[in-house]
Structure 1
Amino acid sequence: MAEAAGRLTELAEEVLGAPLPVRIRAWDRSESGPPGAPTLVIRHRRALRRMLFRPGELGLARAWVAGDLDIEGDLYAALDLLAGLIWERPGSPAPQRAAVLRALARPEIRAAARELLTLAGAPVPPAPPAEEVRRRRGPLHTLRRDKEAISHHYDVGNGFYSLVLGPSMVYSCAYWGTADEGVATLEDAQRAKLDLICRKLGLQEGMRLLDVGCGWGSMVLHAVREYGVRAVGITLSEEQATFARKRVAEAGLADRIEIRVQDYREVHDEPFDAISSVGMAEHVGRAQYAEYAGALYSLLKPGGRLLNHQIARRPVADEEAYHVDEFIDRYVFPDGELAPLGRTVGQLEEAGFEVRDVEAIREHYARTLRQWVVNLEEHWEQAARLTSPGRARVWRLYMAASALSFERNRIGVNQVLAVRTPEAGDSGLPLRARTWSA
C-alpha cells in the first residue's frame, strides 16, 4: 500500500458513511483529507492495532496515551469534529452503532479491514499503556477500592498539579467575573469561588467546618483565614494530605485546621456547623449516594448548611444502562459516576435536607479547564518529567474534551445549598439569600 493515509481515509468514510472531517497523516508521511483541517497524526502503525483489537473509545485512548496518535492544529476544533464519530451523545450526529455494524458486515468492508490488519503489522494487540487502570473486580465503592481509585487520580505528584492548577491548588470549577470585579485571572476566580462557598454556608467566627474531599487544603485555609472558623479537611490522598498539612503549618494555622486521611464514612466527631463538598461527590457512585447524603446530614447540627458542588450529566432514557466512558474510567476517574442534577437534589431531600438554592455554573468550568490546558501546555516538558509523558497526555485530552463537553451542554456543574432545617422550620437563611451571587 503506497499511501497509508489515503487508504485509511477511504475505509473510515466507507464505514461511517460520511466524509472524514479531519486530515490524516500516516507513519509513511502520506496525507489525506480536507486541506486546512486539523490533522490526526498516526505516528506508528501500532495505533491501528490498538484500534482494531479494541474498537471505539478505549482503543483510541490507548493510542493517544502511548503517543502513537496525535493531533496537529487546534486541539479543541479536532475534538469537536471527531466527537460525533467517537462518542455517541444525545443529539449528536454520531452514526448509530447498528449502522456501523451493518457496514462492517459488507464483503468489501471486511476485505478492507483485512487489508488494514495487514497494514497494522503484528497480528497481536499491544499491551495497554502503563497509565491505564486494569479492570477491577469485586464490589464498587468499598473503603479500600475508593482509596485506590483516589490514589490513581491524585497521587501522581503534587509538583505536576502545581503546574496545572497554579498557585491556588484548587482542582474544581473557578468562579469567573470581570477585571472590574477583581476577577481577572485563574487565581482570582478560584479565590472568588472559595469565598462564594463560604458566604453560601454563612460561615462566622467560631463555627466548625468540615471540608469533604479537601484536596490540597485551599478551602479550609480560606475559610479559617477569612471567616475565623475551625476546620477539618478530609481526603483519601496521602500526597494531598502531606501537601495540605505543610501549607497549614506554614500559615501558622495548625491549631485551627486538622487535615485527615479519612473517608467520609469514617467521620464520627460531629456535630459540624457547616459542610463543604467540592468536586468530591462524583467519586461516590449511585449505589452509595444515599449513604453519602445521609452521612453528611447526620454530621450537621440542626440549622447547619451543606454546600455540594458537583458535576452533573444529562438524563438518559435508560438510566440503568448508563455507563462511564471507558477513557475516563481507565485513565482518569476509576469508578467515578456522574448523576443528573434532579437525582442529586432528590437524594439530598430524601436524606432529610431542605434544598434551598441551586446555581448552575457550567460555563465557568469550561473556562477553568481551558486555563488548566494552557498551564499544562506552557509547562509540558516539566509536567511530563514530573509524572510521565503518557500521564501528561491523559490530562491534556481529558481537560480539553471536558471543556468542550461543558461548552456544548453535554455536562454541567452545580452548587446545591441544602440545610438541615430544625423541626421548628427556621432555615436560618435570609429572605433574599442570593446576595452572595454578586
Structure 2
Amino acid sequence: MKRRMINSLLGVVLVVVVVFCVPLALVEKQSIVNAANDRVDAASVRVLGLVESRLAAGEPVTGEKFAAQVTDGSFVTVDIPGQPLIAAGRPVTGPALTASETGASGEVVTVVQSRSDVDHEIGNMLLLLGVVALLAVQAAVALAVWQARRLARPLIDLAETAERLGSGDPRPRDRRYGVPELDRIAEVLDTSAERIARMLTAERRLAADASHQLRTPLTALSMRLEEITALAEEPDTVKEEATIALQQVERLTDVVQRLLTNQRDPLNPTAVTFDLDDVIKQQVEEWGPSLRETGRRLRIEGPHGVLVTSTPGTVAQVLATLIENSLMHGAGTITLRVRPLGNSVVAEVQDEGAGVPPELGNRVFERAVSGRNSTGIGLAVARDLAEADGGRLELLSLHPPVFALFLGRSRTAQEAVEEEQEEQ
C-alpha cells in the first residue's frame, strides 16, 4: 500500500510538472528571445540617431563615434550612400539576432547580436525550472512517505485488532486515528468485538442443548430400569433389560462426547460406514415402552441392509428427536421410512397428526420456535447435528408432517460390481 500511495502521488506531481512547467518554459523562452530582439532593435535605433545627428551637423561619421553603443557580442554596420561601409565590433559567427534601421538620408544601420547570451539565459531559466520541479518531486515523495506511514500504522493496528478478535480476545480497543474512514473501521471492529463478546457468553446454550439431548436417553434409561425392577424375579428378562440399559448408557456417553466435541472442534470428523438397520432397531427398542403406553405404533418401511456414511450416534439422536417430536405433537402411527435416492439415503419420519401449522413452516428448525408448549430446541439441535455430520434435515411436508434426514450412501461391493457391469 505504501508503494502504491507513493507512486500515485508521485505520478500526480509529475503530471503537474509536465502540464505547468513545459508551457511555462516555452513562454519564458519566447519572452527572453523577444526581450533580446527588443534590445537589438533599440541599439539600432540609438546608432541611427547618432548617425543622423552627425550627418545633420556636417561632421564625419566614424566607427569610434558610436562604438559606445556596441556591446560585447554585437557587430554594427552603417551603410551611408557614397561612403565606405562603417563597422564597429567583431563580426558574429553562428546564430545571431539582427535588426536594421533606415534613416532619412538613405543610411542603413544594421546591428547583429550573438545568441550566446540569449541561449545562456534560456539555459539558466530551464535549470531553475528543473530545480524547482526536482524539489517539488522530492517534496511530493516525502509527503507521500509520511502520508503512507500515517495511514499504514492505523491499518496495521486495525489488522492486529482483527487478529485479536479471531484469536478469541473480544475486548474493544476504542482507538481512533483522525481519519474518518479508518475511524469508521475501528468503530465497526469495536462493535463486532462487543457482539462477539455477547456471542461468547451465549455458550451457556451448551447446558440447555445438553439437557435437552440427554433428556431422551435418560428417560428411556429410567423406564428400562423401572422395568428391571418390576421383573427382578425373572433372571433372563432382567439380563436382557440390563443389556438394553447398558446400551442406553453407552449412547448417553456418546451424545455427551459428541456435544462437547462439537463445542471444541465442530469440524472433527467422526463419520463411518454402518448399516442403517442397526440404528433403526435401536430406536424400535428404545421407544417401544413409550409407544405401548400411549397406544401408538412405529412402522418401519423401506429396504434393509442400506449402508450409510455418517456418525451412528448422531443419526440415532436425530431420529430419536424426530420420533419424540411425533409422540409429543403428532398422532396415530409413526412411520419410519428408508429410501435410497441417488447417492443419498433418506430416512423419513411421518405421523398421522394435524401436521405443522402453515405459519411455522421451516421455522420449526429455529430455536425457541415451537408449535406447543415445548423448549423449541430439539429440531434446531437435530438440524445442527445433521449438518455438522455432513447430512441434512428438512421438512418435506406440512400435512401429513414428514421430516427427512438426508445421509450419504455407501455402496456395497456387490452394488459396485453391478454398476460396473451396467456401464460396460
TM category, shorter: under 0.3
Higher helix content, 1 or 2: 2
For normalisation by structure 2, the TM-score amounts to 0.23
Greater RCO between the two (CA within 8 Å, min separation 6)?
A: 1
